[in-house]
Amino acid sequence: MGCLTVEVALGLKSGALNASPSSGTYQLCVNLNKGHKEEFKDLFKFTQLICARARTGTWGSKSFALVDIATIPLNSCIKEGKKNASKLWRLMESVHVYREGNLTGFDLSEMLVLIFSGGIGKGESCLAHKALTFLFPNSQDLSPYDESIVHDSFHQLIQEQSQRAEAESLELQEWPPRDKGGGSQLHGAPQEYSSATLRILANMPSRTIGRSRGAIISQYYNQTVKLRRKNSRPLLRDMSRSARPSIRQYDLEFDLTPREEEEKRSLLVEELQGLTITQRNHMLQNMPLSLTEKRCLRQDIYIRRGRQRCYQISQTQLYCCSHLKYHCIIAFRSLWYGLLSGLYALKPWRYSLKQISGQFGSSVLSYFLFLKTLVSFNILLLLLLLPFIVAVQVAFPPTSESSNFQSFTGLELFTGGGPFTHTVMYYGYYSNFTLNQPCSSHQSSDHCPANAVHLPYNMPLAYLFTIGFSFFITCITLVYSMSRSFGKSYRVGSTLGVHAITVFCSWDYNVTQKWASRLQHDNIRTQLKELLAEWQLKQYPRSVCGRLRQMTVLFLVWLLSLASVLGCAIAVYSFSEFMHENHEIRTETISEKLQEARLLVLPLIVCIINLVVPYFYNVLAICEQHDSPVLEVYVAICRNLILKMVILGLLCYHWMGRKVKSLEDQCWETFVGQELYRFMVMDFIFTLVDTLFGELVWRLISEKLKRDRKPEFDVARNVLELIYGQTLTWLGVLFSPLLPVIQVLKLLFLFYIKKISLMANCQAPRKPWRASHMTTIFITLLCFPSFLGAAIFLSYAIWQVRPSRNCGPFRTLDTIYEAGKVWIRRLEEASPSVTWFTWIHQNLVENTFFIFLMSIVLLVAIYFNIQVVKGQRKVICLLKEHINNEGEDKIFLINKIHSIYEKKAVHQ
Amino acid sequence: MGQCIRHPMTWEELEEYQALTFLTRNEILCIHDTFCKLCPRGKYYKEATLTMDQISSLPALRQVNPFRDRICRVFSHDDVFSFEDVLGMASVFSAQACPSLKIEYAFRIYADINENGFIDEDDLQCIIQRLLNTTDVGDDLLKNLTKHILGESDLDNDHMLSFAEFEHAMSKSPDFMNSFRIHSWGL
């Protein structure tokens, strides 16, 4: 018989038996087994072969069948008694190898169950018991011939094993992500269960929803029942604790037979009939079934109700004219879509921004987005300034006092002086007229006839209010966008940076163009990399020594950078003082052109500092070796910010403290406006130079040297340059209302230049990082030091500084603010009916107590909000923990089910 | 076009479709137009079927959508599209469709790449590869990403996403409703 076995084995090997399923082989094995116990050696080989065959997957991977096969040799093995123990073990091992997983108690018990239910007669059970005791030596005190006791011990064993396995799986749950092989190990976890348990698992409600048609129908049946109950019964009675909706919503239904499904369906139809038409339609619309089935359902509903109303108008075909109408509508729709997509394309820089974010990631994108935000801020400013101040002034030019024509040399484009001095560019040009004055041109309103038909347009007032109002609006917009971006990035339960959502939601199904899809692929890739990089950062702790060294380096670097700030500040201050004194001494001795050029020296120095020092900081940052690129950017921003704010503060002091006094006879406001213009132009030129030399030349050099190190885009420095430029604009609005125009032009140029340079010269950041909070930080910086500083500066200029005597709209007043005061006084005199207005002004605006009260209320509100958010976070944490516990409970229950099934199998 | 006038839709059919889908009358007619242009000449539109290739050659899916074969498989019956299948598909992708329906079908599209009824690691890796449009995504990237996704969204720790977990994750995202949408099905 041995030769037969070998034959069969050979047959298997050559694939002749491939077609035969396991049952055929099984029969063969049984025959072999009964006839020739002594051929064990061959049989063993045969089993091994079967195992190998099954492992290669020729027979599919139904483990059950294989266990069948494997147990036959096991049977004979057991019959051989203890002496074949080692072979038994090897056999077990081969089964184990086949299964490619742990040979757990389940496997053993499964096999033993098979042995029991298989061909072993009553007399042979002692052998089985022997095998049992061999496998589990701790259960030895059983009488060998009593089968029932064997059974009992078996149950015990299964329970023990299942508990052990349960403990194992629980252990697995506790550290799933930590260990390296976690994936494969855990992947194998559900496979431990027997097929019966797996079937139950597969049919659990959470896994069948939306799977099969029957499940969907029964789910919707349950929903409609619930809906109807809700309609028919008051809610409060339904509130018993046992009626938890989550459990009652789905009843455990699986393997619906076609008849059952039909029953369910008719029930559903009945339920749907009970609903109102809108509810029913909504239900049908929401059902995830195919349209054909939905139609059948709908027709069933109508037929059962006997309501043929719907079909009485049936079979009327769409008339030709209505067809025409619909064709028109369709054509119009497609036109509308075309228009919409055109509008979408008009959205500024959409394509460019996508391109940038795809190639360079969110960090670089945040710079360009910020630039876009700044453009919109300036346009907002212009929208107010242009019609109310500039246009009016242009329409009513002042009687020209100084029409001496100055030659244009080109230098004035940089200095902003010369012929530009007496234009709408600067404060000095604006006059203090009042349009539509009801009385004569004299200021005394006492003698006026009281016909207030024409509203007077008071230029000083308009100037003051427009600037004030535009600042107010900017402030509101800034705070609003800041709060919104804070909300986006720090909200409770924020979905920013959730991997699952990035993966499942990032593909825009609307994309139909090839280039757009390529962009989207790039975009998603960059996003995913950044997300991962953020996680990987949190994994490298440093040693104590390393940390100490790093702290020292940090301290030194900060010292150096602060020292450099101080040095720059002193340099700027002493130079400005020097220029100021020199200016007073030698004004007459040099030519006019040179005098103009001398004005450019101070901006030049400041810009050089602004250009060089950030590079110095970059060198320092290399010494620091931060592991996180985000932190690196924050530190760089912080240093640059300190430098720029200190220099700007010094300049403000220089203008307000020095120039105001020395230029009292001339128009100091115009001078400050010109100065700010010069700074802006210089800043722009230096940015261009920086882009050219810092990026283009570096790239050319690195290409020459054949080194693959293109420059990276320095987000921190560039953003700080933008903030600096914006601060200059805000500082200068009062003195030069057209400064935002220049800023807008500058930003537009900058966008294209930076983009071209970026595309041509730069490489993507070497360490990808996600700029999740970058926009928030930028907006905050724009709001806090930049806007607030400018507002303080302007408030000082409006409330405290005396305007020039011979130019500008406020030439007759002591301070600019007095324009408002004078107006209120006049208003009070002219019409006593508006006393409430003056009362508001006196009590709320001029009284500090009210502002104090307001800020206290605001602070209290903020405090409460913070507490609420903290509470919500805590609750979220608790709920997450709860869900985790539920998961563990679920696994526990699954194991229970499994053990019950095992018991059942044993009893049978 | 010629076929459409020969077999136009009746009013009540139009009404019925409108009641059962999230589409407007115009959209249904527009899809009808498209369908008639694609289907073989002289066939009644209710009996005609389109192959998966024909559907995936529609501009809405053509060439660029990484999940077009999955979409076709989910919405077709016996690998062919009847007119109603196409309407059902358009309804799910329309802007008016309710989130639960969209999530349901999104799950079907994503879940069954290996037909086991869950989004497991293989599915996730396949989705990522399709999203990035290459098969040579770094092994690290794939492994880490799947690990993180399961870590965040797999609430009961069985190492795959069931429908409930998927629904939970998607319901938090405002982007989902905007991205899972196809505006125009015209040719």
pLDDT band at A540 (very low <50, low <70, confident <90, very high): low
Hey, of A179, A293, A509, A514, which one would you mutate to test binding to chain B, going by the most B CBs within 10 A of its CB?
A509
Of B143, B152, B184, the CB nearest to A499: B152
Higher pLDDT pick, A402 / A597: A597
Give the tens place of pLDDT for each residue, B69-113. 888 888 888 888 888 888 888 888 888 888 888 888 888 888 766
Distance CA A871, CA A865 (A): 10
pLDDT band at A872 (very low <50, low <70, confident <90, very high): confident
Q: Three-class SS of residue A180? A: coil
In B, which residues are within 8 Å of A495 by CB distance? 172-174
* Identity at B120, one-letter amino acid code: D
Give the tens place of pLDDT for each residue, A651-698. 999 888 888 888 777 788 888 999 999 999 999 999 999 888 888 888
With CB atoms and an 8 Å threshold, state whether B163 touches A207. yes
Q: How far is B130 from chain A (nearest CA, A)?
A: 9
* CA distances in angstroms from A904 to A155, A160, A436, A535, listed in the order given: 10, 16, 102, 48
In A, which residues are within 8 Å of B161 by CB distance? 500
pLDDT over 70 at A45, yes or no: no
pLDDT over 70 at A246, yes or no: no
In a structure prediction context, what are the per-residue pLDDT tens digits for chain B, which is 187 residues long?
434 444 567 777 888 888 888 888 878 888 888 888 888 777 777 778 888 888 888 877 776 788 888 888 888 888 888 888 888 888 888 888 888 888 888 888 887 666 667 788 888 888 888 888 877 777 888 888 888 888 878 776 677 787 778 888 887 777 787 788 887 777 6
Among residues A282, A275, A289, the alpha carbon closest in space to that of A226 is found at A275
B164 touching chain A per CB within 8 A: yes
- pLDDT of amino acid A226: 63
Q: Three-class SS of residue B81? A: strand
pLDDT over 90 at A48, yes or no: no
The answer to whether A654 and A734 are in contact (CB under 8 A) is: no
Give the tens place of pLDDT for each residue, A98-156. 444 433 444 444 444 444 444 333 334 444 444 444 444 443 333 333 334 444 544 55
B135 touching chain A per CB within 8 A: no
Of A189, A311, A509, the CB nearest to B181: A509
B1 touching chain A per CB within 8 A: no
Could you check whether B11-93 and B99-180 share the same CATH topology? yes
The pLDDT of A400-428, averaged and rounded, is 75
Q: How far is A903 from chain B (nearest CA, A)?
A: 25
* CA distances in angstroms from A669 to A388, A423, A737, A820, listed in the order given: 20, 13, 12, 19
- pLDDT of amino acid A740: 94
Give the tens place of pLDDT for each residue, A707-750. 667 788 888 889 999 999 999 999 999 999 999 999 999 999 99
B35 touching chain A per CB within 8 A: no
Give the tens place of pLDDT for each residue, A762-773. 887 777 777 767
Hey, of B1, B135, B157, which one would you mutate to test binding to chain A, going by the most A CBs within 10 A of its CB?
B157
With CB atoms and an 8 Å threshold, state whether B59 touches A512. yes
The answer to whether A170 and A84 are in contact (CB under 8 A) is: no
pLDDT band at A645 (very low <50, low <70, confident <90, very high): very high
- pLDDT of amino acid A375: 94
Worst-scoring range by mean pLDDT, A23-32, A229-238, A443-452, A534-543?
A: A23-32
pLDDT over 80 at A424, yes or no: yes
Distance CA A92, CA A111 (A): 10
The answer to whether A428 and A406 are in contact (CB under 8 A) is: no
pLDDT over 80 at A549, yes or no: yes
- Where do the domains of chain B lie? 11-93, 99-180
Q: Which fold has domain B99-180?
A: Recoverin; domain 1 (1.10.238)
- pLDDT of amino acid A753: 92
* Identity at B62, one-letter amino acid code: R
In B, which residues are within 8 Å of A212 by CB distance? none
Provide the ipTM.
0.86
Determine whether A822 is exposed, middle or buried from the number of CB atoms within 10 Å of its CB (0-12, 13-18, 19+): middle
Summary mean pLDDT of chain A? 71
The pLDDT of A432-441, averaged and rounded, is 63
Of B63, B128, B181, the CB nearest to A503: B128
Q: For the CA atoms of A170, A175, A180, A185, what is the dihedral angle to 10 degrees?
A: 10
**Which residue from A minimizes the CA distance to B62?**
A512
Worst-scoring range by mean pLDDT, A78-87, A505-514, B31-40, B64-73?
A: A78-87
In B, which residues are within 8 Å of A886 by CB distance? 155-156
Distance CA A686, CA A620 (A): 22
**List of long-range contacts for A700-709, beta carbons under 8 Å, 24+ apart:** A709/A763
Q: How far is A16 from chain B (nearest CA, A)?
A: 30
In B, which residues are within 8 Å of A187 by CB distance? 120-121, 159
In B, which residues are within 8 Å of A190 by CB distance? 158-159
- pLDDT of amino acid A864: 94
pLDDT over 50 at A81, yes or no: no
The answer to whether A484 and B133 are in contact (CB under 8 A) is: no
| Residue A194 φ then ψ, to 5° | -75, 170
Q: Three-class SS of residue B161? A: strand
pLDDT band at A214 (very low <50, low <70, confident <90, very high): low
Of B67, B85, B173, the CB nearest to A291: B85
Among residues A47, A762, A824, A38, the alpha carbon closest in space to that of A359 is found at A762
The answer to whether A364 and A356 are in contact (CB under 8 A) is: yes
- pLDDT of amino acid B138: 79
In B, which residues are within 8 Å of A876 by CB distance? none
Q: Which fold has domain B11-93?
A: Recoverin; domain 1 (1.10.238)
Place of tokens 């990403």: B145
pLDDT band at A163 (very low <50, low <70, confident <90, very high): low
Contacts of A718 (CB under 8 A, 6+ apart): A367, A754
Contacts of B88 (CB under 8 A, 6+ apart): A290, A291, B21, B75
The answer to whether A605 and A575 are in contact (CB under 8 A) is: yes
Bridge partners (DSSP) of residue B161 are: B119
- pLDDT of amino acid A733: 92
Give the tens place of pLDDT for each residue, A591-633. 777 777 888 888 999 999 999 999 899 888 888 877 777 888 8
pLDDT over 70 at A274, yes or no: yes
- CB contacts < 8 A, A to B, total 229
B7 touching chain A per CB within 8 A: no
Give the tens place of pLDDT for each residue, A309-335. 444 444 455 556 666 777 787 778 778
Hey, of B68, B148, B154, B160, which one would you mutate to test binding to chain A, going by the most A CBs within 10 A of its CB?
B148
CB burial of A198-229 (b: ≥16 within 10 Å; e: otherwise) equals eebbebebebbbbbbebbbbbbbbbbbbebee
Give the tens place of pLDDT for each residue, A815-855. 888 888 888 888 888 777 777 877 887 777 777 888 899 99
- pLDDT of amino acid A668: 87
Higher pLDDT pick, A748 / A362: A748
